[in-house]
Amino acid sequence: MKDITKKYTNGEVTIVWKPNVCVHSEVCFHGLPEVFNPNEKPWIKAEGAATDRIISQVKQCPSGALTYYLNAEVEAEGGVAPAIDAESIVEPLPNGPLLVYGNIVVKDAEGHETHKNKVTAFCRCGASSNKPYCDGTHVKIHFRDKPEQ
C-alpha cells in the first residue's frame, strides 16, 4: 500500500493527513466540520477555523492519521519539523483497536521498519485489510472483546 501524506495549511499551522492510517472514526468532521468535510474536495480546509481550534481537534484523532505542526516552529528550526517526545502507553479500546501512544517502530514480517509517533491504532479483530493497523473493520463485523451472553 502506498504511503500517502497530504498537508494543508492556514499559514500558522499545517495539518498533516495520512489516509492509510485513518480508522474513519469521524471524530474530526463531527468536531470541526468547517475544517474537515469529507463531502468536499479537498476535504480539509485549514482556513476554516482558528489555529487553536484546529490543534484541539487534531489532537482528538484516535489513529494519529491527523497530526499538525506550527509553521513558525518549523521555520525557527531551519525547516525541520520538531521532534515528538512522548512516553509509550498501550490502551485497548473496548470492542476496538489497540492504541499505542508514543514513539514506536513497527517491524513487518519482511523486516521493514516504520517509525510511528503520537497514536498508532493496531487491529485486534483480525479483519483489517491494513494489518497490523486498524482500518475500522471491527465496526462492520461487530467485533466484541467478550462474546455476548
The dihedral through the CA atoms of 125, 27, 21, 93 has a sign that is: negative
* Tens-digit pLDDT profile for residues 76-104: 777 776 544 445 678 899 999 998 877 68
pTM over 0.85: no
Residue 25 structural domain: 6-76
Q: Which CATH number fits the domain that encloses residue 17?
A: 3.30.70.20
Are 21 and 64 found together in one domain?
Answer: yes
pLDDT band at 75 (very low <50, low <70, confident <90, very high): confident
Secondary structure E strands in 10-127: 13-17, 66-70, 89-92, 98-101, 104-107, 113-116, 119-122
Q: Cis ω on the peptide bond leading into residue 42 (within 30° of 0)?
A: yes
**DSSP notation for 52-68:** HHHHHHHTT-SSS-EEE
149 in any annotated domain: no
Q: How many independent structural domains does the chain possess?
A: 2
Helical H runs in 3-69?
27-31, 51-58
